[in-house]
Structure 1
Amino acid sequence: MKIQGKMFVWLSVFVLAMAVVYGVWSKEPAGTTALFLAFGLCIMVGFYLGFTARRVDTGAQDNKEADVADDAGELGFFSPHSWQPLSLAIGGALAFLGVAVGWWLLYFSAPLVLIGIFGWVFEYYRGENRTQ
């Protein structure tokens, strides 16, 4: 994680330089503010990754002699049969479309979003996986 932290810190330095140059040359406040906010986000992510890298074990990406296979392993648990992300994605797409087309579309998207969230949270608390 050390290299990712350093990359974000260097990216934040670049974005800060571009924000200053853009602000001086364009005198446009919205873009300048957006670039300064991007600088802040980059420095926060870089600080977090650097801070976390000091607290965890050295990963394969930090070892210059490591092979690709050294970083192999389990990445986490992903539900193989979940339909909830599809419902959530359709509901979210309809909600964002409602901003452009008309707010009335939110009446149709809100139930889909709620069903998707509720189903995803309680996916393993029904049927044979239910605890008593």
Structure 2
Amino acid sequence: MRTERNLFAGVAVFFLLTGVGYGWWSGPEPAGTAALAVAFLMASVIAFFFDRTLRRDGSRPEDRRDGRIADRAGPLDFFPARSPYPPVLASGAALTVLGVVFGLWLFLIGFGVLAAGVGGMVFQYVHRGEG
């Protein structure tokens, strides 16, 4: 995770410097500055995630010079075989976007389906490993 953290931190610094420079020289045009600020925030969130994962789990064999392929053998993580929530999430996203076009009523229905899909995906395996 160390390499990934450094990569995305470097990307975040690049977008920060570029955004400050663009905002300084562009004058009253705020769209480019806003886009670069959002890009900086997204890269910062990913770098923060990798940093927290590195601090929580420690170094991986890929992060060490003396790491061997055999050090990475075994199961990596839990990956569910099937879940009903990705189609629910996709349907909710589609209905929400269509609601922007056709009216508030469809947007609210779509947002409800979207929230149910996100909640289902987040909490589907919340009790896995207990008891």
Q: Does structure 1 residue 102 correspond to structure 2 residue 107? A: no
Q: How does 1:1-132 map to 2 (within 5 A)?
A: 1-27=1-27, 28-50=29-51, 52-64=53-65, 66=67, 70-71=71-72, 73-106=74-107, 108-109=109-110, 112-113=113-114, 116=117
Distance across 1 between alignment mates of 2:121 and 2:42: 29
1:103-122: CA deviations, max 9, x gaps? 23236535644664676578
Distance across 2 between alignment mates of 1:37 and 1:107: 26
Deviation at 1:89, TM superposition (A): 1.5
2:129 maps to none
Closer, same or farther in 2 for the Cα pair 1:68/1:22, shift >3 Å?
farther
Structure 2 residue runs of 5 or longer lacking an equivalent are 126-131
- Indicate the SS of the match to 1:80: coil
Moved more, 64-73 or 25-34: 64-73
Give the TM-score normalised by structure 2: 0.65
1:45-81: CA deviations, max 9, x gaps? 4355335424533202212454666545434333323
Maintained 8 Å contact 2:99/2:108: no
Moved more, 36-45 or 110-119: 110-119
Superposition RMSD in Å: 3.4
- Which protein is bigger by CA-based radius of gyration? 1
How many residues are aligned here? 124
Structure 1 residue runs of 5 or longer lacking an equivalent are 125-132
Give the TM-score normalised by structure 1: 0.64
Closer, same or farther in 2 for the Cα pair 1:85/1:3, shift >3 Å?
same
Closer, same or farther in 2 for the Cα pair 1:94/1:37, shift >3 Å?
closer
Calculate percent identity across the aligned residue pairs: 40
